Chain A
Amino acid sequence: DAKTTQPNSMESNEEEPVHLPCNHSTISGTDYIHWYRQLPSQGPEYVIHGLTSNVNNRMASLAIAEDRKSSTLILHRATLRDAAVYYCILREYSGGGADGLTFGKGTHLIIQP
C-alpha cells in the first residue's frame, strides 16, 4: 500500500470544526483513501472512505484534492468523544478484500473543552 503522511498531533476546541490533513503523493489511480480512528484502549473504527469525489457521512466529510495527492478529514463540530488517533490509509482496489490494513502513526487529535 502507498505511504501516507499525517501530523503527529493536533489540538482543537470542543464544538469547533477540525480539519485533519493527509498527504499521499504516491497514490495510484486505483487507491481508495480510507480513514479510521482509534479511541483509547479500543479497536479502530471506520470513519469514511473515497476515491475522487468528496464524501459525506454522519461522522465526517472527506475532501480529496483534485490531483488526489492529499485529502482532509473534516469533523464539522468536534466533541470530547472525538478525541482519538486518526489514521489515513490507502487501499488498492483488489476486488477481494483479502489484505489487512497498513496503519501508519496517525494523528493524535486532542479536544479541549
Chain B
Amino acid sequence: GAVVSQHPSRVICKSGTSVKIECRSLDFQATTMFWYRQFPKQSLMLMATSNEGSKATYEQGVEKDKFLINHASLTLSTLTVTSAHPEDSSFYICSARVQNGANTEAFFGQGTRLTVV
C-alpha cells in the first residue's frame, strides 16, 4: 500500500514555542491531506483538511491561527503548532488518500507525540 511518513515521531518543546510537523506521501500524490489530534484514551478527532495550493479547511473549534497548515506540494503538508501550551500536548496524526475516489483506503502517518512542558 501507499506510504505516508510523518516527522518527527516525538517532540518535546517549551511552552510558548512553535513546533512544525511534516507529513509526506512517499509514493503517491495527495491533493488533500488530513490532520487529526488524539488525546490519551480518546479517539481521533479531525482538525483540518489540507488542500494543495489553497487554504486549509478547519473543523469547528480548531483555531486556524494556532494550527497553521501549509500544503505547498502534492507530497508535503506541514502543521505548525504556534505558541504551544501544555494543553496542546497530544498525538497528532496526518492522513492522505490516493486520488481515485472516496472509497479507497486512507493512509495514515505514524503520528507525532507532542509534549509541551
A residues neighboring B (CB under 8 Å):
32, 34, 36, 38, 41-46, 49, 87, 91-106
Contacts and interface: CB of A to CB of B under 8 A. Distances in A.
Interface of B: 1, 4, 6, 32, 34, 36, 43-46, 49, 91, 93-95, 97, 99-111, 113
A99 B95 contact: no
A95 B104 CA distance: 10
A62 to B, nearest CB: 13
24 contacts: A36-B106, A41-B113, A42-B111, A43-B94, A43-B108, A43-B109, A43-B110, A44-B106, A46-B105, A46-B106, A91-B103, A94-B102, A96-B102, A97-B100, A98-B32, A98-B49, A100-B36, A101-B34, A101-B44, A101-B46, A101-B106, A103-B43, A103-B44, A104-B43
Contact of B102 (A42, A87, A91, A103): A91
A43 B6 contact: yes
B20 to A, nearest CB: 18
B100 to A, nearest CB: 8
B93 A44 contact: yes
A24 to B, nearest CB: 15
B46 A42 contact: no
A107 to B, nearest CB: 11
B32 A97 contact: yes
A95 B95 CA distance: 18
